[in-house]
Structure 1
Amino acid sequence: MALNVGQDFKKRWLDAPNAVRQSFFDDLNRICDLLQPSTNIEKWIDNDRRALQVAQLQVDQAYADLKAQLLEEARIRKQLALEKSLADKRAKQQAYNLQLQQDELQQFYAQTQSLNALRQVIDDEIAQQSQRYSKNPEYPAIDFSNPRSRIQDDEILSELESVRLRLELEAETSIEEAVNAFRNKLKAAAKDEIDYILENSKFSAEI
């Protein structure tokens, strides 16, 4: 008598749960008992019917457990994939934010250097103007004894100091605007990262 076990029996046998394989062993053992001459057929049939019912329950439970295990493994794989994807995106976002911060710091440093250089130029020009107008002019035709014809050095210096203060205020305003713009960009980048994390953190849903 040939035993037909079907195609891919080895793979199906290895993939089957232990309870399923054990049920096949039990079936074969009962068949071997049936072949014994001393076996009571009616009793064997009754025992076989009950054994088949129990075996079917065990097989159903084994496949249900296997399905639950496969679903859980799939859920874990999906969760790990989402976590890895989120971690990669967060790493890229952090790298982008760091690069943005470095670029902004470089721009801020360059602007500060430029404004400091401009302030130095202004200081030098003011100093030159002050030195020029602080000297007594060598013009014999001017009568310095006449108050109306005397150059008012104090007024000139006061006007130059006003110009100096105005230019310094404009330079400080430009620096403050650059700092505020840099802070606003950092806040916006941090808010985008927080919103992204909150939006993509719901990966524990049921499959």
Structure 2
Amino acid sequence: MALNVGQDFKKRWLNAPEMVRQTYQDDLARICDLLQPQTTIETWVIQNQKAQEASFDKIKQAYADLKAELIERARIRRQQALEQSLAQKREQQAQYAASLQADEIHQFQQQTHELIALRSSIQEEIESHTARYHQNPDHVAIDYSHARHQMSDDQIQSELESLRLRLELEADSLIEQAVTVFRAKLYTAAQEEIEYILKSSDL
């Protein structure tokens, strides 16, 4: 009797589950028992039929377990790939958020410098207007016939002070408005980033 194991037997044998290899070895041992002089063929045939059915069930279950294990390994690999992709996406989103925040800070600093320059310009304008109202030189002829209709120096100084206060208040108001607009922009950008991250993180 010749035993034909087929091509690539070694590879197929090593790739088979342990339970399958053990079952085949048990089948071979049972066949070898048939060659023993004390073995009764009729009894062996009956026992062999039952043993073959049990071997078939073992082999079927072993390959089912192997299939389940391979499926679980594939699921774990996919899960790890998804987690890695999500981690990369979160890192990109964090970098984008940091870049956006840095840009907003830069714009805020630029607006602050512009407002400071505006305030300085207003202050210079105030000083320029104030410098125009000095006491006239003694050698200049002045008609005092209508003096009662002219403003006194105290009134002029009061008007200048009022003008200075109004300009300073206007500058402060402009600065406050710019800061409020910047904060609103920053809050809106932060809300959009949070919503985008939450949507992108939904698997």
Q: Normalising to structure 2: TM-score of the pair?
A: 0.88
Q: Paired residue for 1:185?
A: 189
Structure 1 Cα separation of the partners of residues 143 and 31 of structure 2: 140
Over the aligned positions, Cα root-mean-square deviation in angstroms equals: 2.0
Higher relative contact order (CA 8 A, sep 6+): 1
Q: Paired residue for 1:136?
A: 135
Greater Cα offset, 40-49 or 152-161: 152-161
Specify every segment of 5 or more residues in structure 2 that has no aligned partner in the other structure, as ranges.
none
Q: Normalising to structure 1: TM-score of the pair?
A: 0.87
Q: Paired residue for 2:176?
A: 172
Judge conservation of contact 1:143–1:150 (CA < 8 Å) in 2. no
Judge conservation of contact 1:20–1:59 (CA < 8 Å) in 2. yes
Query: How far is 1:111 from its partner?
Result: 1.2
Q: Are residues 1:8 and 2:12 paired?
A: no
Count matched residues: 198
Cα distance change on mapping 1:113 and 1:79 into 2, 3 Å = same
Q: Are residues 1:194 and 2:163 paired?
A: no
Greater Cα offset, 82-91 or 121-130: 121-130
Judge conservation of contact 1:19–1:59 (CA < 8 Å) in 2. yes
Q: Percent identity?
A: 41
Cα distance change on mapping 1:45 and 1:149 into 2, 3 Å = same
Judge conservation of contact 1:119–1:171 (CA < 8 Å) in 2. no
Structure 2 Cα separation of the partners of residues 118 and 163 of structure 1: 11
Specify every segment of 5 or more residues in structure 1 that has no aligned partner in the other structure, as ranges.
201-207
Equivalent AA in structure 2 for residue 155 of structure 1: E
Query: How far is 1:163 from its partner?
Result: 3.1
Q: Paired residue for 2:104?
A: 104
- Deviation digits for residues 154-179 of structure 1, max 9, x if unmatched? 23432343233223312321222122
Query: How far is 1:70 from its partner?
Result: 1.0
